[in-house]
Chain A
Amino acid sequence: MAQQLRPSKSASKKPKIDWSRREEADNFARTVKLYRQGKIDHDSFRRFRLQHGAYGTRMTDDYAMVRIKIPAGQIYPYQLEKIAQLSEMYSIGSAHVSTRENIQLHWVVLEDVSEIMHGLADVGLTSREACGNTVRNVMCSPLSGVCNDEMFDATSYAIATAKFLLRNPLNQTLPRKFKFNFSCCEKHGMIRIADVGLIPQIRELDGKKQRGFKIFLGGGLGNKSFVGYQLEDFTPEEDLLYTSIAVLQIFDRMGNRKNMARNRMRYLVDEMGWDKFQNLILKQRTIVRATQSVIVRLNINQKPNEIKRPISISSENGSVPDGYARWLKSTTYKQKQEGYSAVFVTLEAGDITANQLRAMAEITMDFSAEGFARNGFSQDIILRYVHESDLPRLYSRLLEAGLANSGSLTMASAVGCSGTSSCNLALTNSHRLAKEIQRKFLELKLDEDDDLSDATIKISGCPNSCGQHDIATIGFFGGGARVGKDMYPNYSMSLGGRFDDKTMLGVTCMRVPVKRAIPVILKIIELFKKNKQPDDTLSRWIDRIVHDNESSEIKSIKDMKKILSPLVIPPSKADDPDFYSDYGTDTSYHTITGKGECAA
């Protein structure tokens, strides 16, 4: 490498919190043995396995997926290096960054899971409560602390919440999983689609500024998705923990433990009605506030992170490789801190090789003045506090590592759950479809189109929404269809989903066979170009269509369906056998699923 940067002291930064407990690894190894010897029944073992972050794998009991929790998405270089090593030793040589800031290792031999846990303990990480009926990874916007629209940085609140709840008896056997999302502002977090979503707020009381949150409850995506409700105008920070405890207690007590399909808290809210639920929570919070000991509180670390720009030992100004302007425009966000940018590194459907993880670790040390990276909401990794003058060199380094795809902040970066690549419930290979879409968008340079930049494409391999299709501008979930005896993979397409302050679920438009998904998307873009208003964007145009507010030839979803329908007519199998197979396989499509455990 022509340009070498020497890491400053911040490079060797270690996280403040050790999330691991090494004895859990040994306990896991022992329990697997007992299970294999038939001394523990399947269901008890499954509960235990999920509690420890090991999820089942498609059509086999021999392998597991280990979901590594990354609270608030904060990940340190030496943790990335360790995960690289573990992926080569025990997984497939690649890791997967999820939509909930976790990092997943797939196709791990069940008997090796404890080895991974030991490795994670070496770097202070855990997979504990990453699956199962517990509080899952506590998310935080990757822009918290640097966002131009935030009131204050929620990261330390997210971390403190994660710390309080991890291994806490309060949430070890909830009716179902439970998700906390912290955001910076309305735009950058997904607060209305979590069980508890929080946005920092500041209010003035008697001339004094007081920190607090806008809290949303009862949202969530799944077989049936719901948008969360705002609990009250303002929840002061002292009430953050009491509110969290109250919500968990109510859910624990009243959530549906009988009907697996309706056991998330959003169903409880839906069945009870928001007013009643809200009332219950507020009452419960009064009780919690009155009965909790004063020593039960969140331990918020308010000490700011050290920001120290890594020192460049070579000021050699090499030529900037091709594609820099395109990359710069579509992957970087100017921070509120003068002179610094956050860089969104897009990964194809969240997949990253061991070598790329190692490169990412080095790049983080060499370029981020805060010395760590943040996982994002879109299967991406965000490098913050990159000095603007270092961006060209960062681009060169990312390019060398194969990590410089442009378009991470645009429609080009499609999200896809793991689908048939590893999930028991999947009906289609949503994972590969997301990759195919991203490749096509980049090939056509659609990431450069400003009209498309605020739109999203998200794909799930089944109706359960791990790919978050419900909140995408163009969303897909997988299923099967048939012509006579011949089956083909078929997606249900919805339009107009969004996850900002006007969060709404997408409106079902039509079914689209997998091999027609890309032509249909391109056709929608073509129709948009033809009918758009000046200064229009695709998402605004679609928003008008789904609300029947559009005045051009396509006035409604129905019109859209009509105009697209010639594209989705199945050819005969003799004419086009490829139509009848999913991506990633050359055999004819058939649906096959196992028992789900809910992965993302």
Chain B
Amino acid sequence: MCSLSSEITPTTVDVDTVRSKINDDSLRLIDVRREEDYNQGHIPNAVNLPLASLLSGDSPESVVKLVEDMGIADDTKVVVYDDTFGALASRVTWTLQYIGHKNVALLEVTYSQWKELGLKTSTEKPNIKPAKHSLNLNPDIMATAEYLENAKEKDNVVLIDNRERLNFLEQHIPGSINIPYRTLATDGKILRTKESMRNLLKNRGIPEDAEIITYCGSVGTLSGLAYYALKSIGIPNVKLYVNSFKEWKKLEKPIGKQENAAYWDLSAE
């Protein structure tokens, strides 16, 4: 699962593999935290791509430009990390795959966990030589509102909402099921073990050959993590509804709700 040279891209890369390749020019580490956090320390040789910068102009062409500026060529191996339980890193990873970058994966831990393991960090910015990257859109991994609306009526399509339970109860896309993003992690790793992920789906009655579409609140971060949790156990057909519930509401599409219960009042927040 952890070999970076493998043809089939793994979902996550383990700490040891990254540690041993930190100085390897064929590997590009992307830190997606905010610039000020990055400046205070990051994994050595990592480049900074705050998610906000990516989202500010995420036309495929501008993403290609960003990728090239980070010195990423078509065959560069890329590993992405964050400090937000893997959700922001997932969204960046997904975007790279969407523009056609094949060899990209998530670091299996967050930056905090990396530090807790006592591993090296640095405040130095690496010298990057811009590279050339092609654009080969991969539309199969993306769902639009229109696509989702049609697909969710079909058999063997499962729509998963990855927001927290109370948000889901209050409003959701009709027909979706709720797997809160916190369900996807395990102690010390951003994703569950494969066995427990399979077990979760089995309990929920989600067939592994289903087409699964994930969504969350606004830009596809929490659901991006779910995308990779599903990919990690080899689910072939997963799509991210990247504009998520925010767009769905704006488009005034139908909304489902758990009625007649004051569940918010159980929250101690």
Q: Which A residues lie at the B interface, using CB under 8 A?
A: 29, 32-33, 36, 57-60, 88-94, 96, 106-107, 109, 111-112, 114-115, 347-348, 351-353, 356, 418-422, 429, 431-432, 435, 582-585, 592
Contact = CB atoms under 8 A, between A and B. Distances in A.
B265 A59 contact: no
Interface stretch (B13-21, B93-101, B176-184): B176-184
Interface residues of B, number: 26
Interface of B: 164-166, 169, 177-178, 180, 182-183, 199-200, 203-205, 258-269
A32 B204 CA distance: 10
Nearest to A352: B268
Given A92-B267, A347-B268, A419-B262, 10 more contacts: A29-B203, A89-B182, A94-B267, A111-B204, A112-B204, A356-B268, A419-B265, A421-B262, A421-B266, A585-B262
Contacts of A432: 262, 265
A93 B166 contact: yes
A94 B266 contact: yes
A294 to B, nearest CB: 45
Contacts of B199: 115
Contacts of B260: 58-59, 420, 592
B201 to A, nearest CB: 10
B185 to A, nearest CB: 8
Contacts of A352: 268
A463 to B, nearest CB: 19
Contacts of B268: 94, 347-348, 351-353, 356
A228 B165 CA distance: 41
Contacts of A111: 203-205
Contact of B263 (A88, A353, A421): A421
Contacts of B177: 109
Contacts of B267: 92-94, 351, 353
B261 A421 contact: yes
Nearest to A594: B260
Contacts of B262: 419-421, 429, 431-432, 582-585
Contacts of A356: 268
Q: Which of A29, A431, A584, A592 has the most CB of B within 10 A?
A: A584
B261 A92 contact: no
Which 9 A-B pairs rank lowest in CB-CB distance, beginning with the nearest?
Answer: A584-B262, A351-B268, A88-B182, A432-B265, A58-B261, A94-B268, A421-B266, A421-B265, A353-B268
A420 B262 CA distance: 6
A584 B204 contact: no
Contacts of A585: 262
A432 B265 CA distance: 6
Contacts of B266: 92, 94, 96, 106-107, 351, 418, 421-422, 431
Nearest to B267: A94
Contacts of A351: 266-268
Contact of A94 (B204, B205, B269): B269
Given A59-B259, A109-B204, A111-B203, A90 B265 contact: no
Contact of B165 (A93, A96, A348, A353): A93
B164 A92 contact: yes
A67 B38 CA distance: 43
A60 B182 contact: no
Contacts of B200: 112, 115
29 contacts: A57-B261, A58-B261, A59-B258, A59-B260, A89-B183, A92-B165, A92-B263, A92-B267, A93-B182, A93-B269, A94-B268, A96-B266, A107-B166, A107-B263, A109-B177, A111-B204, A112-B200, A112-B204, A348-B268, A353-B268, A356-B268, A420-B261, A421-B262, A422-B261, A422-B263, A431-B262, A431-B265, A432-B265, A583-B262
B136 to A, nearest CB: 37
B38 to A, nearest CB: 26
A35 to B, nearest CB: 12
Contacts of A109: 177-178, 204
Contacts of B269: 93-94, 353
A487 to B, nearest CB: 14
Contacts of A90: 180, 183
Contacts of B205: 33, 36, 111
Contact of B203 (A112, A419, A583, A592): A112
A190 B129 CA distance: 74
A73 B246 CA distance: 43
A90 B180 CA distance: 7
A314 B218 CA distance: 45
A222 B169 CA distance: 30
Contacts of A584: 262, 264-265
A433 to B, nearest CB: 9
Nearest to B187: A85
Contacts of A114: 203
A429 B261 CA distance: 9
A419 B262 CA distance: 9
Contacts of A429: 262, 265
A435 B264 CA distance: 13
Contacts of B166: 92-93, 107
A521 to B, nearest CB: 19
A435 B183 contact: no
Nearest to A95: B268
A39 to B, nearest CB: 14
Q: Which of B199, B264, B268 has the most CB of A within 10 A?
A: B268
B226 to A, nearest CB: 13
Contacts of A431: 262, 265-266
Nearest to B206: A111
Contacts of B165: 91-93, 107
Contacts of A582: 262
Nearest to B258: A60
A365 to B, nearest CB: 18
B189 to A, nearest CB: 13
A91 B204 CA distance: 15
A368 B166 CA distance: 34
A431 B264 CA distance: 11
A33 B182 CA distance: 24
A145 B266 CA distance: 32
A232 B182 CA distance: 53
A457 B81 CA distance: 51
Q: Which of B183, B259, B260, B261 has the most CB of A within 10 A?
A: B261
B164 A93 contact: yes
B196 to A, nearest CB: 8
Given A32-B203, A88-B180, A107 B169 contact: yes
A359 to B, nearest CB: 12
Contacts of A96: 266
Given A90-B183, A111-B203, A112-B203, A583 B263 contact: no
B188 to A, nearest CB: 12
A347 B268 CA distance: 8
Q: Which of A107, A115, A429 has the most CB of B within 10 A?
A: A107
Contact of A89 (B180, B258, B263, B265): B180
A347 to B, nearest CB: 7
Contacts of A33: 203, 205
Nearest to A57: B261
A88 B165 CA distance: 9
Contacts of B180: 88-90
Nearest to B202: A29
A107 B265 CA distance: 12
Contacts of A353: 267-269
Nearest to A420: B262
A33 B177 CA distance: 17
